Amino acid sequence: MNKKFNKTEVLTISSAHFAHDIFSSFLAPLLPLIIEKLGLSLSLVAFLDIIRRLPALFNPLLGLMAERTNVKYFVILTPAITAISMSLLGVAPSYFVLILLLGIAGVSSALFHIPSPTMIKQSSGNETGRGMSYFMVGGELARTLGPILITSAVSWWGLEGSYKLMPIGIISSILLYIKFRNFSTHIKAKKIEKGDVKTILKKHKNLFYFLGSFMLFNSALKSSLSLYLPVYLVNNGNSLWYAGIALSILQFSGVVGVFFSGKFSDKRGRDKILLYSSLGSIIFMALFLYTHHIIILAILGVFIFAPAPVLMALVQDTNSPMPTFMHSIYMGINFGLSSISVLLIGFLGDRVGLNETFIICNILGLGTLISVLFLLKERK
């Protein structure tokens, strides 16, 4: 494998991440309007996000399929599919149609996110953390601009005019095809031998235990802000524009976090960066809930999103002969546990209010520190 960092290839894949995720970020900014239009409870809202994440349950199967397929076509097609389904959310006349559209977007998202990090790994040489940072910057930058894009569209055309953004995603896929048509993914189709899957699961079970525990507690913090921040701010007397800008600020600071965390983890260790990010997330979440200050929210975003490229690098550090399958398991754990968190947050929000629920999520975030201590013990 090429040991040098291929910046051109990494940036190409990262741009595809941006093209896809800018549309998948539409749900949270639209929620206050969708709740008002259809009269939804927070529990029903939580179920919408779970539907979007549900295809993650099939990630290992999709990962095995990707091991035998030219994965670049997943990366090319999915931005258009996601753009079409997410741009139609404002037009949806019923809760059932919302479920259908988000289900399609969920399948598309899974097909994109399973193979693309493996492509990053192949293009990053010995600097996997750096490559994952570039990749995550594409995603976080998309989630920064996505709320501004959809909020602007609603301001110009109304909620039901959001479909007019659809051509942007279709054009993105066309451009990606032009860019990727001669792009070598370095991933050769292979025959999966009987027992390969079982062997990999047994060999790396402790890593999966750590990933599960860390992401369970981290998602309590991350999911509460990523999905419910606009609703939280609107409920506290702020405008939809302010809520959308606040979400964009949170996501933009996440760009800073993911850009540096992966590179620093290459030099200073994955476990140390995870420890620092966990401490920062807990402290600044508490400060934000107390002050509601936008600068505190920006600092919080740096810490709360920083673990993502580090965790992905940990998975790729295993140097498994089935890297796409390994990443599919990581994605399955991530989205599965995030779905549980979203559902519980919505349930608690209906029962005790979002303000109190956010405080509970901050307390649960302490579990990330216990998980990192477990990782430190295992690595020693």
Backbone Cα Rg of the chain: 20
Give the whole-angstrom CA distance, residue 115 versus residue 136: 14
pLDDT at residue 2 is higher than 70 = no
pLDDT at residue 193 in the model: 54
Across the chain, what does the average pLDDT equal? 83
Tens of pLDDT, residue by residue over 120-170, are: 877 787 787 788 888 888 888 888 888 889 988 998 999 889 899 999 999
- Residue 48 has what DSSP assignment? H
**Closest to 259 measured CA to CA, from 141, 147, 338:** 141
Q: Check residues 71 and 194 and name the one with the higher pLDDT.
A: 71
In the chain, where are the structural domains located? 7-379
Give the whole-angstrom CA distance, residue 380 versus residue 182: 44
pLDDT at residue 229 is higher than 80 = yes
Average pLDDT over residues 331-354: 83
Contact, 308 vs 136, CB < 8 A?
yes
CATH number of 7-379, picked from 1.10.287.130, 1.10.10.10, 3.30.70.1400, 1.20.1250.20: 1.20.1250.20
pLDDT at residue 89 is higher than 70 = yes
Average pLDDT over residues 300-320: 84
Give the whole-angstrom CA distance, residue 277 versus residue 264: 12
Q: What does the angle CA 153 – CA 158 – CA 160 come to, to the nearest 5 degrees? A: 100
pLDDT at residue 1 in the model: 46
Give the whole-angstrom CA distance, residue 237 versus residue 79: 35
Average pLDDT over residues 353-380: 84
